[in-house]
Amino acid sequence: MKTPIVAEPQPIEVDFARTALIIIDMQRDFLEPGGFGETLGNDVSLLHAAVAPCRAVLAAAREHGLLVIHTREGHRPDLSDAPPAKVERGSPSMRIGAPGPMGRILIRGEPGHDIIDALYPIPGEPVIDKPGKGAFYQTDLEVMLQGRSIQNLLVCGVTTEVCVNTTVREANDRGYRCVVLGDCCASYFPEFHEMGLKMIKAQGGIFGWVSGSREVLDAFGAAAAQPSKKYA
């Protein structure tokens, strides 16, 4: 059964049984003071606007039985999966692996690397640990999506122009329809957020579609009114 979602550049019809919600990098390291985002010189409070809409979509996706996948950017404690070209950016006391108030910056297993409480995964929801900006690069995400016959992705997270855009571009090339929920994404640069969304939906939807939490919640409501309600 297909359900229309109001989106730009045009509405899209999706089968929620073939759709996953993917929440990109809603980690303390990006959203809270003292983490990777702040060491890069950013005002992390700019990302908080995305949390409540994202939480609403997450709750609805769980209720409707969608596959929910979370991602985290980060590296092994020995930095063996961190390219020197990535690590050496920033002053030594603030770069990846350096000690910070939330543990070593962007290192797996440290408090800063984990997902914020408001969006914490529940048992059964896969968490993809990725070394890069894109969620497909050096991860088992594609195998996981293929195993569940997923064709469409509802994409939320941070930051719009970095890990969200990189992941959407990777997914688009792999044949997935990506619907990016604009108010569930955020950037340290409001203008990059706006342009990041514009780049996705330009040229007839060159990388995908842009919608929002309200539109997706409405679509879940419409789908639930149909006879078959569970998707996973």
- Nearest Cα neighbor of 154 from 89, 213, 71 is 213
Least gap, CB of 72 to ligand TIU (angstroms): 9
Q: What are the φ and ψ backbone dihedral angles of 176, each rounded to 5 degrees?
A: -90, 140
* Cβ 30 to ligand TIU shortest distance, Å: 6
Measured from the CB atom, the residue of 50 and 66 that comes closer to ligand TIU is 50
67 alpha-carbon distance from chain centroid: 14
Beta bridge mates, 179: 154, 209
Residue with Cβ nearer ligand TIU (50 or 145) = 50
Residue 86 annotated in active site: no
Q: Look at the block and give the residue holding tokens 């997914």.
A: 171
Site membership for ligand TIU, residue 158 (CB under 6 A)? yes
> Could you tell me the smallest distance in angstroms from the CB atom of residue 35 to ligand TIU?
11
**Which amino acid is present at 109?**
G
Q: Which residues face 113 on adjacent strands? A: none
* From candidates 20, 162, 185, 223, binder to ligand TIU by CB under 6 A: 162
Which position among 54, 156, 163, 185 bears the catalytic label? Answer: 163
Nearer to ligand TIU, 60 or 69 (CB): 69
To the query of whether residue 173 is one of the catalytic residues in this protein, the response is no
Shortest reach from residue 130's CB to ligand TIU, in Å: 9
Residue pair 155/22 in contact (Cβ under 8 Å)? The answer is: yes
For ligand TIU, what does the binding mask look like between residues 15 and 34, x meaning CB under 6 A? Answer: ----------x----x----
Using DSSP's 3-state secondary structure scheme, residue 232 falls into coil
Is 198 in the active site?
no
List the end-to-end C-alpha distance of the chain, in Å, as a whole number.
13
Q: Considering the rule CB under 6 A, would residue 40 count as an interface residue with ligand TIU? A: yes
Return the number of the residue (30 or 231) whose C-beta is nearest ligand TIU. 30
| 127, 154, 216 from 21: Cα distances, Å | 12, 5, 11
CB 79 within 8 A of CB 87: yes
Residue number, 6 or 40, with CB nearest to ligand TIU: 40
CB 113 within 8 A of CB 106: yes
Q: Is 221 in a helix, a strand, or coil?
A: helix
Phi, psi of 121 (to 5 degrees): -60, 150
Residue 196 C-beta: closest distance to ligand TIU, Å: 10
Site map (CB under 6 A) of ligand TIU, residues 193-232, x = contact = ----------------------------------------
Catalytic residues: 25, 130, 163
Residues that bind ligand TIU (CB under 6 A): 25, 30, 40, 73, 133, 158-159, 162-163, 188
